Amino acid sequence: MTPAFDPLAIAFLGLMIVGAIAALSVRDLMAAVVVFGAFSFFSATYFAILGAVDVAFTEAAVGAAITAVFFVTAIFRTDRGAD
């Protein structure tokens, strides 16, 4: 089992934090959805590094694919700006 202080795990944790801050601070909602998908992939990779392959699988399928499609479909009903 990989220890929690694995440098690879730390790197992906940092990428998750960067991705989350970027998804919150971006003004364009469509760009926010894309960055949120990247955040989902980072967290899926982090779960896989920790050995939780099943959770990583679910996160990659639901968080990155389906949720992004639903967000994009919902954004098509709005005027795309965050303000």
Partner 1 sequence: MNSGFGSPALDAASRLMTPFMLMFGAYVVVHGHDSPGGGFQGGVIIAACLILVRLVRGRAAGWVMPPETAVVLLCTGAGIFAGVGLLGPIFGGHFLDYSALPLTLAPAEVRAAGSLAVEIGVALAVTGVLELIFDVLVEARDDA
Binding interface with partner 1 (CB under 8 A): 53-54, 57-58, 61-62, 65-66, 69-70, 73-74, 76-77
C-beta of 60: minimal distance to partner 1 in Å?
A: 9
Closer residue to partner 1, CB minimum distance, 21 or 65:
65
Residue 26 DSSP symbol: -
C-beta of 62: minimal distance to partner 1 in Å?
A: 6
Closer residue to partner 1, CB minimum distance, 17 or 66:
66
Contacts of 48 (CB under 8 A, 6+ apart): 56
- The rounded distance, in Å, linking the Cα atoms of 12 and 44 is 10
